[in-house]
Amino acid sequence: MKFRSVFDIIGPVMIGPSSSHTAGAARIGRVARSLFGREPKRIVVSFYGSFKDTYKGHGTDVAMIGGVLDFDTFDERIKTAIDIAKSKGIDIEFKEEDAVPAHPNTAKVEISDANGSLELIGISIGGGKIEITELNGFELRLSGNHPAILVVHNDRYGTIAAVANVLAKFAINIGHMEVARKDVGQEALMTIEVDQNIDPAALSELETLPNIIQVTQIAE
Amino acid sequence: MMFKNVKELVQLTEERNTSISEIMITQEMEVTGKSREDIFSQMYRNLEVMEQAVENGLKGVKSLSGLTGGDAVKLQAYIASGKTLSGHTILDAVSKAVATNEVNAAMGTICATPTAGSAGVVPGTLFAVKQTLKPTKEQMVRFLFTSGAFGFVVANNASISGAAGGCQAEVGSASGMAAAAIVEMAGGTPQQSAEAMAITLKNMLGLVCDPVAGLVEVPCVKRNAMGASNAMIAADMALAGITSRIPCDEVIDAMYKIGQTMPTALRETAQGGLAATPTARELEKKIFGGVTSSRDTETAR
């Protein structure tokens, strides 16, 4: 069942006009921001499919930038997000891509500063629900509805079990989990959606495990 | 999950001798692990947003494109004249549904129910029947849980997306959800709620999604108006003891199958229906400066 919560139906609270093209876009931008962990200096958004055709009429562009500025779907500042970003000296670029995406509402978000960059692809599947389909070249699925932990690690035996053990110790239940890797023995990514809010101590402990490169939390 | 269709939902209420809203709340607690208080206060916040949106719309708003805005105000003035034909409560529901969607089109704050494009029907009817039924705050919050329970069934068994199922999936679903919730608030049985949902949705089957210029404005705002009146009438019919010959779940399934066979041009692509009329094309040119090409993909809600 795609829809699990009553608040998927009655909600989200959002700035209009479109749950898929405005609220969904803000959520995709905000996931990028949350993963990047800080305000970027440059934002490049590529729109595909219906996003490309109608983004101006729906405020998809301002919503996406608002999301990257860490604004929620209902934050009034979304309407002036591009101006706010520019006043902070953030460089913004929008690209209209002609490639036909698997889902009609697809966007690629690339954010960066002097210390690093992040690239993700998100789709808006209706009613404000989104999925992140790709992160830094890794394929993944993140509903954005539950707290989630992303663990970048080396592809070695025992790593997944060790992570699961730490979560069990903190009484955190895993609702959904996926593992992707670039190649055998190479860098890999665990995507873990959990039911409970994540104790910061759990994250710290995860970081101390062998073969773990980076641990990031995405709260709802 | 405790229920996956309307039949199971109604059965649960009968077994536990409780309301649909109560089943929805219980399921939400089980699925999310949140407390009843947290869930209730989250829904209460949604209610407050809806009330504020109606208030803002009744003050008068205008969208950026200029296509919509101001009709809720006109209707309220007309109601105040006391010379209406269809009666106060229905027109009040219609004007409040319109108010919400006008705020949405103007990039104001709304609560999607179930989507932004169909966000007017549930609050529009709720704040209109509030005048007659004088519900408590708790009953108003429960109205939203009952709406949500029916929307939940539609979203998981059919669709609430105009791109997937046309307007019948958006405003059709919203109207059925509202009708069911009105029945519960008015003291009807869970089965009567199901009948109201079925009667409403039956009368919105086949409704296409053909937004002018791809914007969530024309005909979306007026479709919410008619959806609200449809919900009110169906609720009254169900409360009168009228039943649907076709059970609610089968109506939902029919809606799903109609959506699947609906041509792409009529599913949120701005290619067919009203969007393809000469006037719509003229408006589109004016709004986007004549640079828009014909769209070949899904557009927005």
Helices (H), B33-136: 36-59, 71-80, 88-105, 121-133
- Helix or strand run (H / E) with residue B110: strand B109-111
Q: How far is residue A198 CA from its own chain's centroid?
A: 17
Tell me what the mean pLDDT of segment B94-123 comes to.
97
C-alpha to C-alpha distance for B234 and B239, rounded to whole angstroms? 9
Which residues of chain B make contact with A102, given a CB cutoff of 8 A?
A: none
Which residues of chain B make contact with A17, given a CB cutoff of 8 A?
A: 63, 104-107, 116-117, 215-217, 300
C-beta atoms of B155 and A127 within 8 A = yes
CA dihedral B236, B238, B242, B248 (to 10 degrees): 140
Distance between B185 CA and the closest CA of chain A, angstroms: 17
Is the domain of A39 the same as that of A110?
yes
Which residue is closest to A8 within chain B, CA to CA?
A: B114
For residue A17, say if its preceding peptide bond is cis, omega within 30 degrees of 0: yes
pLDDT band with cut points at 50, 70 and 90 for residue A91: very high
B129, B185 Cβ separation under 8 angstroms: yes
Which residues of chain A make contact with B114, given a CB cutoff of 8 A?
A: 9-10, 127
CATH code of residue A16: 3.30.1330.90
Look at B287 and A155; give whichever has higher pLDDT: A155
Helices (H), B240-277: 248-261
C-alpha to C-alpha distance for B7 and B191, rounded to whole angstroms? 9
Write down the residue that tokens 């089968």 correspond to.
B250
C-alpha to C-alpha distance for A154 and A157, rounded to whole angstroms? 9
pLDDT band with cut points at 50, 70 and 90 for residue B153: very high
Any idea what DSSP says for residue A16? S
Residue of B41, B110, B146, B160 to mutate, testing the A interface (most A Cβ within 10 Å of its Cβ): B110
**CA-to-CA dists, residue A58 to A52, A53, B64, B240, angstroms:** 11, 10, 10, 42
Give the pLDDT score at A180.
87
Task: Classify B132 as helix, strand or coil.
Answer: helix
Is the domain of A52 the same as that of A153?
no
Any idea what DSSP says for residue B264? G
Question: Which of A101, A124, A142 is the last residue in one of the domains?
Answer: A142
Give the pLDDT score at A140.
80
Specify the number of domains making up chain A: 2
Q: Is the ipTM here above 0.85?
A: yes
Which residue in B50, B91, B110, B95 sits closest to B301, CA to CA? B110
Is the domain of A44 the same as that of A102?
yes
Which residue is closest to A58 within chain B, CA to CA?
A: B215
Is the domain of A202 the same as that of A187?
yes
Is the domain of A48 the same as that of A130?
yes
Question: How many CB pairs below 8 A link A and B?
Answer: 177
DSSP string, B155-190: HHHS---HHHH-HIIIIIHHHHHHHHHHHHHTT--H
C-beta atoms of A59 and B107 within 8 A = yes
Which residue is closest to A78 within chain B, CA to CA?
A: B107
Residues in contact with B60: Cβ distance below 8 Å, sequence separation at least 6, in sequence order? B69, B70, B72, B73
Is the domain of A172 the same as that of A135?
no
- Out of B31, B109, B163, whose CB is closest to A4? B31
**Is A1 among the domain residues?**
no
Tell me what the mean pLDDT of segment A119-147 comes to.
83
**pLDDT at residue A142 is higher than 80:** no
Give the pLDDT score at A144.
62
Give the pLDDT score at B250.
98
Which residue in B110, B123, B12 sits closest to A23, CA to CA? B110
Tell me what the mean pLDDT of segment B33-58 comes to.
97
Is the domain of A106 the same as that of A190?
no
Give the pLDDT score at A216.
82
**pLDDT at residue B298 is higher than 60:** no
Which residue is closest to A129 within chain B, CA to CA?
A: B115
**pLDDT at residue B300 is higher than 50:** no
CATH code of residue A154: 3.30.70.260
Question: Which of A82, A112, A142 is the last residue in one of the domains?
Answer: A142
Six-digit token pair at B282? 């003229």
Is the domain of A157 the same as that of A135?
no
pLDDT band with cut points at 50, 70 and 90 for residue A183: confident
- Out of B1, B216, B295, whose CB is closest to A17? B216
Is the domain of A179 the same as that of A194?
yes
Is the domain of A50 the same as that of A70?
yes
pLDDT band with cut points at 50, 70 and 90 for residue B299: very low
- Out of B42, B103, B104, whose CB is closest to A7? B42
A59 vs B: CB within 8 A: yes
- Out of A16, A127, A195, whose CB is closest to B108? A16
Question: Which of A142, A172, A188 is the last residue in one of the domains?
Answer: A142
Distance between B292 CA and the closest CA of chain A, angstroms: 8
Is the domain of A152 the same as that of A93?
no
- Out of A5, A53, A126, whose CB is closest to B295? A53
**pLDDT at residue A185 is higher than 60:** yes
| SS3 letters across A95-118 | EECCCCCCCCEEEEEEEEECCEEE
Six-digit token pair at B289? 């400066």
Q: Quickly count: other Cβ atoms within 10 Å of residue B52's Cβ.
A: 15
Give the pLDDT score at A219.
58
Instruction: Burial-class residue A184 by CB neighbours within 10 Å (0-12, 13-18, 19+).
Output: exposed
C-beta atoms of A17 and B163 within 8 A = no
> Over the stretch B113-145, which tens digit does the pLDDT of each residue have?
999 999 999 999 999 999 999 999 999 999 999
Tell me what the mean pLDDT of segment A126-138 comes to.
85
Which residue in B204, B300, B220 sits closest to B252, CA to CA? B204
C-alpha to C-alpha distance for A188 and A165, rounded to whole angstroms? 18
Give the pLDDT score at B15.
97
For residue B219, say if its preceding peptide bond is cis, omega within 30 degrees of 0: yes
Give the pLDDT score at B32.
83
Tell me what the mean pLDDT of segment A162-177 comes to.
93
Which of A34-43, A176-185, B130-139 has maximum average pLDDT? Answer: B130-139
pLDDT band with cut points at 50, 70 and 90 for residue A71: very high
Which residue is closest to B147 within chain A, CA to CA?
A: A10
Which residues of chain B make contact with A5, given a CB cutoff of 8 A?
A: 28, 31-32
Percent of chain A residues past pLDDT 90, beyond the cut: 61
C-beta atoms of B215 and A16 within 8 A = no
Which residue is closest to A124 within chain B, CA to CA?
A: B300
C-alpha to C-alpha distance for B107 and B113, rounded to whole angstroms? 16
Give the pLDDT score at B140.
98
Average pLDDT, chain B: 93
Give the pLDDT score at A130.
85
Helix axes B137-157, B36-59, angle to 10 degrees: 100
Tell me what the mean pLDDT of segment B192-219 comes to.
96
Strands A148-154 and A187-194, by their bridges, are antiparallel
Tell me what the mean pLDDT of segment A196-205 comes to.
86
Class of domain B6-288: mainly alpha
The angle at the Cα of A127, spanning B33 to A35, to the nearest 5 degrees, equals 65
A72 vs B: CB within 8 A: no
Which residue is closest to A60 within chain B, CA to CA?
A: B300
Instruction: Specify the length of chain B in residues.
Output: 301
**pLDDT at residue A51 is higher than 90:** no
> Over the stretch B166-196, which tens digit does the pLDDT of each residue have?
999 999 999 999 999 999 999 999 999 999 9
Percent of chain A residues past pLDDT 70, beyond the cut: 97
Which residue is closest to B291 within chain A, CA to CA?
A: A53
Q: Where are the domains of chain B?
A: 6-288
Residue of B34, B103, B107 to mutate, testing the A interface (most A Cβ within 10 Å of its Cβ): B107
- Out of A54, A74, A195, whose CB is closest to B300? A54
Which residues of chain A make contact with B105, given a CB cutoff of 8 A?
A: 16-17
**CA-to-CA dists, residue B110 to A5, A13, A15, A199, B54, angstroms:** 19, 6, 6, 33, 9
**Domain membership of residue A196 as a residue range:** 148-218
Is the domain of A170 the same as that of A204?
yes
Residue of B140, B152, B285, B287 to mutate, testing the A interface (most A Cβ within 10 Å of its Cβ): B152
Which residue in B176, B173, B46 sits closest to B114, CA to CA? B173
A163, A199 Cβ separation under 8 angstroms: no
C-alpha to C-alpha distance for A94 and A135, rounded to whole angstroms? 19
> Over the stretch B255-287, which tens digit does the pLDDT of each residue have?
999 999 999 889 887 889 999 999 999 999 998
